[in-house]
Structure 1
Amino acid sequence: MSIQAVAAQAGVSVATVSRAFNFPDKVTPATRELVERVARELNYLPNASARTLRTQRSRTLGVVLPTLLNPTFAECLQGIARAAVAGGYAILPVTTGYRLDEEERAVQLLLAGNVDGLILVVSNPSTSAALQRLQAAAVPYVLAYNRHADHPCVSVDSEGAVADAVTRLVLLGHRRIAMVSGTLAASDRAQQRYRGYQRGMAEAGLAAPPLVEVPFVETAVDALCAELRPHRRPTALVCSNDLLAIRSIRAAHLSGLVVPDDLSVVGFDGIALGEDLTPALTTIAQPNSDIGRHSVELLAQAIAGGRALQADASLLLPHAFRDGESCANAREDNDAALS
């Protein structure tokens, strides 16, 4: 089936059909939907290679994520996919396993695949070789979840959110509040959240105990059980992500503690699974799907304008403190036992 047949059936010109596939931002949504519907009915498939040669665009966005095992990034990818389809783009996702060498390799792979732009989550924008390679190639990109003054980002205020969470725990009477995090060096988000914890503790006039750093989520329960031994254990935990919070609740159970009676637990991310727990997880919820959607929209605007995104295009989206059932007032007998 030919492009001429699609144009005739849709009642538009051949040029309009071409624009609908090659430059969908140049036609109205109604026209694009009409052309796409007729093309499907006629089993017409535009030649992607020919389209790339004509327009120098592949209509493909590269996506670099640390993992899809964490529902946070899966929810973000869903937002990316929906926004990409709405804008006439395909996506090519790659995961890095939180490894710096894999970040750089992923960018190299996607650039070789002639993507029009990239959405990335990197370990540390300040030292990222992957971003340096992107800047050298002059390919538009936007960072999701990362927050850095020199790069275009879509994120939340992780530091402020955790500081507020600490304040909430202090108002519940907690004084021994510990933080549980993944490896700080592997994530600027974890670093920002730890700074927020330190700030919240300092504002409350409390001494912050050493960070409970858990390199691997899979082994977190054993490490956390060691932190929950009776001698001067914390009465509350602030966790840098929901998966660690879920494992903290498991560790509390194995240690003979009841959440939230003996131990309050706060997570960060707002994954749907947290609401299905007993007790339901109290957490700082990020708009994960919206982070993905806004990342695509910013990138598509830059691609359409033939320019790179600048740092001043960054968006800071609102977070929400989701009250669950895993936080409660500090018990006086707990405080007495810890003194």
Structure 2
Amino acid sequence: MTTLQQVAARAGCSLATASRALSLNGSVSDGMTRRVRRAAAELGYRPAPATGKASRRPVIGVLIPSITNPVFSSSLASIENRMLVAGHGVVIAQSHYDPAREADAVQALLNDRPTGLVLTLCDPLNTMSLPSSMPPTVLLNNRPTERFPAAVTADNFKAARELTMMLIELGHRTILFVSGTFAASDRARLRHAGYRQAIEMSGLVPLEPMQIPFVGAYDQLDLSTVLSRHAPTAIIASNDLLAFGVIGALRREGLCVPCDVSVAGFDGIAIGQMIDPPLTTIEMPDASMGATAASLLLDMAENAAPPRHFDIAYFLRRGGTVRAI
């Protein structure tokens, strides 16, 4: 049976350091923690439970904006399935699309001494409020940063540009972008930037985006002012749930989708194919992204693998909510 002394010898550290690294109890550098965990994995070391106490199952922490959004639920299910195979539990926290709540949510995850973290942040470039010392971390849906170089993404900018170009090729010239607040989601910002580039490349004038809170009553969305001011022939919503709200708002104004206004969304959630007509949307690989993020985190935490960036392909799914004019 492999002993802790053998793990310490292989990692090139003291017995006390090896113990702290494996228990996540005490001050040990990230580099040394990875070395000790890799040595333990290579030697097949499993710590014995303390006398009279049950052994503690390792866990990872996952931060998502909202568990009620099917996008994040799909990713979370894949993460949990991957971790189940690896013998890890999953602890979940929500930011509710609020940057001010992220630091507290991450700290709550760290209190469970996780092997590592999978984070979907409002703004990965603004992380000063996050704890300075963190275990191996993978960003999910956020692009990699200097602090967090490990990330699993889809190209939101390119997808929005492609979706907007499709509408332009169908004859639309006045296209409105409706979104959750950009401060709460870098995905929304990237999608708007892709929309804007396509509009400008085509010699058109981009409309001022309509921003609303992500957490709110989409069924109460009021488009009357923006419709009377701009009379858009097409509307792009920054996610599918918001696209459903846009369709409802248009119908309350007595307008038909797509006869009067075309509507497109992002994410590709299943309910979008059950409405009539089916929603035109960018289908994001949420389940694949979740599984990839979990596997990458395990590789970094257990095998001291270097952080990497994986870009997973999206798919433009044409539905009945868009027409040519």
C-alpha distance after superposition, 1:86-106 (max 9, x if no partner):
222111111121222321112
Query: Which residue in 2 is equivalent to 1:102?
Result: 101
Q: Any conservation in 2 of the 1:241–1:269 contact (CA below 8 Å)?
A: yes
Further displaced range: 296-305 or 80-89: 80-89
Q: How far off is 1:128 after superposition? A: 1.8
1:119-130 correspondence runs (5 A): 119-129=118-128
For 1:206 and 1:319, locate their aligned partners in 2 and report how far apart those are by CA, in whole Å.
26
Q: Any conservation in 2 of the 1:142–1:153 contact (CA below 8 Å)?
A: yes
For 1:179 and 1:141, locate their aligned partners in 2 and report how far apart those are by CA, in whole Å.
32
Q: How far off is 1:222 after superposition? A: 4.6
Give the TM-score, by structure 1 length.
Answer: 0.77
Matched, 1:142 2:138: yes
**One-letter amino acid of the structure 1 residue matched with residue 314 of structure 2:** H
Matched, 1:314 2:309: yes
Q: Any conservation in 1 of the 2:93–2:106 contact (CA below 8 Å)?
A: no
Query: Which residue in 2 is equivalent to 1:9?
Result: none
Query: Which residue in 1 is equivalent to 2:7?
Result: none
Deviating above 6 A after TM superposition, structure 1's stretches of 4 or more consecutive aligned residues are: 23-27
Query: Which residue in 2 is equivalent to 1:112?
Result: 111
Q: Secondary structure at the match of 2:216?
A: helix
1:149-164 correspondence runs (5 A): 149-150=145-146, 151=148, 152-164=150-162
Query: Which residue in 2 is equivalent to 1:12?
Result: none
Further displaced range: 255-264 or 230-239: 230-239
**One-letter amino acid of the structure 1 residue matched with residue 136 of structure 2:** P
Q: Any conservation in 2 of the 1:228–1:255 contact (CA below 8 Å)?
A: no
C-alpha distance after superposition, 1:3-44 (max 9, x if no partner):
xxxxxxxxxxxxxxxxxxxx78878xxxxxxxxxxxxxxxxx
Q: Any conservation in 2 of the 1:63–1:91 contact (CA below 8 Å)?
A: yes
Q: How far off is 1:304 after superposition? A: 1.0
Q: Quick check: which one's helix share is greater?
A: 1
Q: How far off is 1:51 after superposition? A: 4.4
Query: Which residue in 2 is equivalent to 1:323?
Result: 318
For 2:43 and 2:241, locate their aligned partners in 1 and report how far apart those are by CA, in whole Å.
43
Q: Give the one of 165, 169, 172 matched to 2:170.
A: 172
Query: Which residue in 2 is equivalent to 1:294?
Result: 292
> Unpaired segments of 5 or more residues in structure 1?
1-22, 28-45, 53-57, 331-339
Query: Which residue in 2 is equivalent to 1:78?
Result: 77
The aligned length equals 279
Change (3 A) 1:112 1:277: same
Indicate the RMSD between aligned Cα atoms, in angstroms.
2.2
Identity percentage of aligned residues: 32
For 2:43 and 2:189, locate their aligned partners in 1 and report how far apart those are by CA, in whole Å.
42
Further displaced range: 293-302 or 92-101: 92-101
Q: Any conservation in 1 of the 2:221–2:245 contact (CA below 8 Å)?
A: no
For 2:41 and 2:244, locate their aligned partners in 1 and report how far apart those are by CA, in whole Å.
44
Q: Secondary structure at the match of 1:74?
A: helix
For 2:60 and 2:259, locate their aligned partners in 1 and report how far apart those are by CA, in whole Å.
48
**One-letter amino acid of the structure 2 residue matched with residue 141 of structure 1:** T
Change (3 A) 1:329 1:317: same
